Chain A
């Protein structure tokens, strides 16, 4: 065993060396973490903060960084490791593993897609997760990733960065609202219809942001061999219905004065296009009588009647008193810095500019939003709650600490792994459960995301996946693994919502209590099942109980818990049944659902 520990340590050491070489320009992790603790709690309080034990810490940090709990073997190995630096090395090892990117790509998929207005948005999920996981694992900087998302083009089945535009069918207002919410943390979309009641944002400012995105087209690719293939592209040519078909022109052409334009009358006139294709004539002939009246020609709408004005290369702010009118043309200006670009710029110029303005180090909200979001996800406390409603009109907790961390993050070159390493290195992150403490020192168990829970469930049951069927509740979420999909259906929530507002549900409880698939896997008579293997490996009940606790909850049972389980076994008609029931109870416990 010594040999293997040494090998592991050696690998850790190499990884640490590599990581620190890469981050040479970044502020030092440990110094930054110490300073944060001090700014938030004060030196003395930070130093006296009770730190959680190795087993719980390892489970916590594994769930946070790689989305699955530590295995019993990993917990044991970690506990036996005498190195004083072992937590630091473990964090670096986790950030270097591919599971890191996979975990956070799923976090971002939920964050973006659970707010999608496009009901088919799930189609892009696998592509997005793959792209995002790769970007995160290569540790591309946050500004690079955001720039890719804001400037993406291509098929949603090939280019994962198209996620945001596809999620909102390229609609400028929705994209603007989401880009602001996700990347600056500021909810500006209330200003869509009216000046914001309690924020400073004006209606014009929201529409000036939307004006960065009017030239994005999201269309179904009919040539694709896949049934649902959509393409995000730039559309710099005005494709609105032809304007200027005036009644005057129609009267001139209408030789027999029946207020109907026949094919013959349209010949050699600009209106001959109406008869060029069957499809166009059918669309214009709205009453289906086979004839094109003045009214039909003047009122002809683009094919998709859901989006009047679609196809325009400019953004128009609707006139609220006259919603069917064109509204006022608005040119792109970024509301946080008043930076603008020349009117009439093409799509890529607009989107590149939007990305540049949003990710500009001068825009403090870009760094603050991600720093606050990551801090909240890891520590269960936040400078701003909810994480997607921040901005100059919201008071922050520990403003100084937030600014310090945001500045350091900018200095690191928007390095996400660096940011997570800093947060995981604070004493606050490592604190023990402290339900009665105040402020950031308090530590309460928080509900896991569905993907984390699925990983815990699979690991506890000793399987790679669960062959569960959809509960039939929601539309396809795009998740391919059926078990992961079913668990997401029951347990999924928008990660931007504060955990304290996420509630449990009956379908969740039923899935854990009564799923025949889970019941089959807790079978203690099957020698290949987790319980069967435990039974074969250990002699005493106490050891078997301890192994079950380690497997399901990642810790040893307390004396009292051991007592409860032991007496339960004594009362059970059958010992193996009794062990199965303990297994069942642990899987159905509150503790199983939470990170702590």
Chain B
């Protein structure tokens, strides 16, 4: 269920293509040849349960230093000059760069034992977005795409998957599950504002429809129908009062300043508005965490923008009763080395790193796993990318074992392997 960027009308004369038909139902049910009434009922029940669930991914591009954010090691060689501060939860300390996040710690769960093998930005970003490592034979869909495939509201006038900044796309799931991108949060996205009056736009659309009917009669009917369906959706989008969700100017100045007058702050505020308007998945990106040089100053600068925005987002969602159904995940592609290099920086370190989660199905106020005293390895409870993705899906009531069929007919699960970290779930 759930389409957004395009309608599901296929262009082919023979109707459904093999690939699409297989995508419509889970591969395993097909293989067993049993998709009966009971399954359909179960599907519906699941749909009710999932209703309104959403996820906001706060993506820290470059790989934030866990020592300066969620896993400080004050007083050790690895820890550097960064101090730890108390949080709202006794016993949990985080770096002094995140004072506002500390205040909402009751809603936040930290994982300090993430581990992966991917130490290059593009590969690690790919894995942390798709759950798979890159392979030439198949472009894996990002989590945003697979989640909206299962949770997206097909009747929504807004796109179900919005990305503020660039991100991984839908891969083999096709353009219909690609993210709708917003380059400048706070303003309408590119090409959404009408270039003429609504009246004249309406006249143009009616003229187009009349001319299209003529072309359809010459034998291009399926193509025209699919084109018209997309134009129908696009028109609904640009004329919808819902597009106001993209414009944050009607938010109270006090709230806006709590989020912070920064690109990331506006992005977080926009994310909340979009979720409020029924968008299923929003990614907000913060760049510049790749601190090979001057790690301490630069991480502090980044955090000064990200900390208030993140904490305000969690609090704001909670105030509006949205946090229960909205999962917020704060992460980057890997962590950084315990070793401080001669340029006062830290290099890539996928072996152990941290991330934070809040809301939707997650029990806050806890730390899961730990790194060793020097911060070079996992001390206990290692969490793989698959474990993380499986846990995210479970929290959102998304089926991690749902199989999509790759273009070559190979079934690929949303998450391949991994174990649910049930301690994290509420």
Known: A117-B134, A287-B376. A444 touches B219 (CB 8 A): yes
**A288 within 8 A of partner (CB):** yes
**B190 within 8 A of partner (CB):** yes
Known: A474-B166, A582-B207, A585-B208. A503 touches B374 (CB 8 A): no
**A588 within 8 A of partner (CB):** yes
B229-237, B258-266, B271-279: which one contacts chain A? B229-237
Query: Once the chains bind, are B211 and A506 in contact (CB under 8 Å)?
Result: no
Residues in B whose Cβ lies below 8 Å from that of A503: 6, 11, 174-176, 226
**B135 within 8 A of partner (CB):** yes
Query: Once the chains bind, are A509 and B196 in contact (CB under 8 Å)?
Result: no
Residues in B whose Cβ lies below 8 Å from that of A445: 220, 223
**B154 within 8 A of partner (CB):** no
Q: Could you tell me the distance between the alpha carbons of A462 and B180 in the complex, rounded to whole angstroms?
A: 30
Interface residue from A305, A436, A593 paired with B227 (Cβ < 8 Å): A593
Query: Once the chains bind, are B200 and A577 in contact (CB under 8 Å)?
Result: yes
Known: A168-B136, A190-B410, A435-B219. A506 touches B122 (CB 8 A): no
Query: Once the chains bind, are B195 and A516 in contact (CB under 8 Å)?
Result: yes
| Mask: chain A, 468-505; 1 = CB below 8 Å from B; 0 = not | 01111111000000000000000000000100111111
B38-46, B112-120, B324-332: which one contacts chain A? B112-120
Q: Which A residues between 538 and 567 are near B, CB-CB below 8 angstroms? A: 558, 560-561, 564-565
**B51 within 8 A of partner (CB):** no
Q: Could you tell me the distance between the alpha carbons of A472 and B160 in the complex, rounded to whole angstroms?
A: 17
Query: Once the chains bind, are A444 and B169 in contact (CB under 8 Å)?
Result: no
| Mask: chain B, 8-27; 1 = CB below 8 Å from A; 0 = not | 00111100010100000000
Query: Once the chains bind, are A288 and B376 in contact (CB under 8 Å)?
Result: yes
Q: Could you tell me the distance between the alpha carbons of A508 and B233 in the complex, rounded to whole angstroms?
A: 12
**A526 within 8 A of partner (CB):** no
Q: Could you tell me the distance between the alpha carbons of A487 and B19 in the complex, rounded to whole angstroms?
A: 27
Residues in A whose Cβ lies below 8 Å from that of B11: 500-503
Interface residue from A389, A433, A434, A471 paired with B181 (Cβ < 8 Å): A471
Q: Could you tell me the distance between the alpha carbons of A413 and B26 in the complex, rounded to whole angstroms?
A: 48
Q: Could you tell me the distance between the alpha carbons of A577 and B231 in the complex, rounded to whole angstroms?
A: 22
Interface residue from B135, B237, B351, B374 paired with A174 (Cβ < 8 Å): B135
**A594 within 8 A of partner (CB):** yes
Query: Once the chains bind, are B136 and A510 in contact (CB under 8 Å)?
Result: no
Q: Could you tell me the distance between the alpha carbons of A502 and B17 in the complex, rounded to whole angstroms?
A: 11
Q: Could you tell me the distance between the alpha carbons of A304 and B181 in the complex, rounded to whole angstroms?
A: 33
Q: Could you tell me the distance between the alpha carbons of A189 and B138 in the complex, rounded to whole angstroms?
A: 10
Interface residue from B13, B134, B136, B338 paired with A288 (Cβ < 8 Å): B338
**B178 within 8 A of partner (CB):** yes
In the complex, residue of chain B having the shortest beta-carbon distance to the beta carbon of A513: B234
Residues in A whose Cβ lies below 8 Å from that of B169: 473-474
| Mask: chain B, 190-225; 1 = CB below 8 Å from A; 0 = not | 111111100010011001101110111011110110
Query: Once the chains bind, are A581 and B137 in contact (CB under 8 Å)?
Result: no
**A35 within 8 A of partner (CB):** no
Tell me, rounded to whole Å, the shortest Cβ–Cβ distance linking A432 to chain B. 10
In the complex, residue of chain A having the shortest beta-carbon distance to the beta carbon of B159: A506
Q: Could you tell me the distance between the alpha carbons of A157 and B242 in the complex, rounded to whole angstroms?
A: 46
Query: Once the chains bind, are A435 and B374 in contact (CB under 8 Å)?
Result: no
**A519 within 8 A of partner (CB):** yes
In the complex, residue of chain B having the shortest beta-carbon distance to the beta carbon of A442: B13
Known: A434-B219, A506-B234. A585 touches B191 (CB 8 A): no
In the complex, residue of chain A having the shortest beta-carbon distance to the beta carbon of B338: A288
Query: Once the chains bind, are B190 and A560 in contact (CB under 8 Å)?
Result: no
Interface residue from A117, A120, A282, A584 paired with B204 (Cβ < 8 Å): A584
| Mask: chain B, 292-330; 1 = CB below 8 Å from A; 0 = not | 000000000000000000000000000000000000000
Residues in A whose Cβ lies below 8 Å from that of B220: 433, 435, 444-445, 590-591, 594, 596
In the complex, residue of chain B having the shortest beta-carbon distance to the beta carbon of A435: B219
Query: Once the chains bind, are B211 and A561 in contact (CB under 8 Å)?
Result: yes
Query: Once the chains bind, are B180 and A306 in contact (CB under 8 Å)?
Result: no
Query: Once the chains bind, are B122 and A508 in contact (CB under 8 Å)?
Result: no
**A286 within 8 A of partner (CB):** yes
Residues in B whose Cβ lies below 8 Å from that of A344: none
**B407 within 8 A of partner (CB):** yes
**A187 within 8 A of partner (CB):** yes
Residues in B whose Cβ lies below 8 Å from that of A116: 136
Q: Could you tell me the distance between the alpha carbons of A435 and B78 in the complex, rounded to whole angstroms?
A: 70
Q: State how many residues of chain B have any CB contact under 8 Å with chain A.
A: 85
Q: Could you tell me the distance between the alpha carbons of A370 and B223 in the complex, rounded to whole angstroms?
A: 28
Query: Once the chains bind, are A287 and B215 in contact (CB under 8 Å)?
Result: no
**A507 within 8 A of partner (CB):** yes
Q: Could you tell me the distance between the alpha carbons of A119 and B6 in the complex, rounded to whole angstroms?
A: 26
Query: Once the chains bind, are A433 and B218 in contact (CB under 8 Å)?
Result: yes
Residues in B whose Cβ lies below 8 Å from that of A513: 191, 231, 234-235, 238
Query: Once the chains bind, are A505 and B117 in contact (CB under 8 Å)?
Result: no
In the complex, residue of chain A having the shortest beta-carbon distance to the beta carbon of B169: A474
Q: Could you tell me the distance between the alpha carbons of A423 and B126 in the complex, rounded to whole angstroms?
A: 41
| Mask: chain A, 63-100; 1 = CB below 8 Å from B; 0 = not | 00000000000000000000000000000000000000
Interface residue from A190, A289, A444, A519 paired with B195 (Cβ < 8 Å): A519
**B92 within 8 A of partner (CB):** no
Q: Which A residues between 435 and 471 are near B, CB-CB below 8 angstroms? A: 435-436, 444-445, 469-471
Query: Once the chains bind, are B376 and A286 in contact (CB under 8 Å)?
Result: yes
Interface residue from B137, B181, B223 paired with A590 (Cβ < 8 Å): B223
Q: Could you tell me the distance between the alpha carbons of A160 and B4 in the complex, rounded to whole angstroms?
A: 39
Known: A119-B123, A286-B376. A306 touches B215 (CB 8 A): no
Q: Could you tell me the distance between the alpha carbons of A593 and B208 in the complex, rounded to whole angstroms?
A: 14
Interface residue from B126, B196, B204, B221 paired with A585 (Cβ < 8 Å): B204
Query: Once the chains bind, are A472 and B208 in contact (CB under 8 Å)?
Result: no
Tell me, rounded to whole Å, the shortest Cβ–Cβ distance linking A498 to chain B. 8
**B82 within 8 A of partner (CB):** no
**B186 within 8 A of partner (CB):** no
Query: Once the chains bind, are B191 and A510 in contact (CB under 8 Å)?
Result: yes
Q: Which B residues between 119 and 137 are near A, CB-CB below 8 angstroms? A: 119-123, 125-126, 134-137
**B47 within 8 A of partner (CB):** no
**B74 within 8 A of partner (CB):** no
Tell me, rounded to whole Å, the shortest Cβ–Cβ distance linking B383 to chain A. 18
**A15 within 8 A of partner (CB):** no
Residues in A whose Cβ lies below 8 Å from that of B123: 119, 306
Query: Once the chains bind, are B19 and A501 in contact (CB under 8 Å)?
Result: yes
Query: Once the chains bind, are A289 and B374 in contact (CB under 8 Å)?
Result: yes
Residues in A whose Cβ lies below 8 Å from that of B119: 304-306
**A568 within 8 A of partner (CB):** yes
Residues in A whose Cβ lies below 8 Å from that of B181: 471-473, 507
Tell me, rounded to whole Å, the shortest Cβ–Cβ distance linking A208 to chain B. 18
Interface residue from A285, A386, A469 paired with B183 (Cβ < 8 Å): A469
Q: Could you tell me the distance between the alpha carbons of A541 and B320 in the complex, rounded to whole angstroms?
A: 58
Residues in A whose Cβ lies below 8 Å from that of B226: 503-504
Interface residue from B6, B78, B118 paired with A504 (Cβ < 8 Å): B6
**A363 within 8 A of partner (CB):** no
Residues in A whose Cβ lies below 8 Å from that of B288: none
**A30 within 8 A of partner (CB):** no
**B5 within 8 A of partner (CB):** yes
Tell me, rounded to whole Å, the shortest Cβ–Cβ distance linking B1 to chain A. 17
28 contacts between A and B (CB under 8 A): A117-B134, A117-B136, A386-B407, A435-B221, A445-B223, A472-B183, A497-B407, A500-B13, A503-B226, A505-B5, A506-B5, A506-B230, A506-B234, A509-B233, A511-B190, A513-B234, A513-B238, A514-B191, A519-B195, A558-B214, A560-B214, A561-B211, A564-B214, A581-B200, A581-B204, A585-B207, A586-B211, A590-B220
Q: A588-B204, A589-B212 are in contact. List 15 more A-B contacts (CB 8 A).
A: A119-B123, A119-B126, A436-B219, A473-B163, A500-B11, A506-B234, A510-B192, A514-B238, A558-B214, A564-B210, A564-B214, A586-B211, A589-B211, A594-B220, A594-B223
Interface set of A (CB-CB < 8 Å, partner B): 115-120, 168, 174, 177-178, 187, 189-190, 192, 282, 285-289, 304-306, 386, 389, 433-436, 444-445, 469-475, 497, 500-511, 513-516, 519, 558, 560-561, 564-565, 568, 572, 577, 581-582, 584-586, 588-591, 593-594, 596
Counting from the closest, the 8 A-B pairs by CB-CB distance are A435-B219, A119-B122, A472-B183, A509-B234, A510-B191, A519-B195, A473-B181, A500-B12
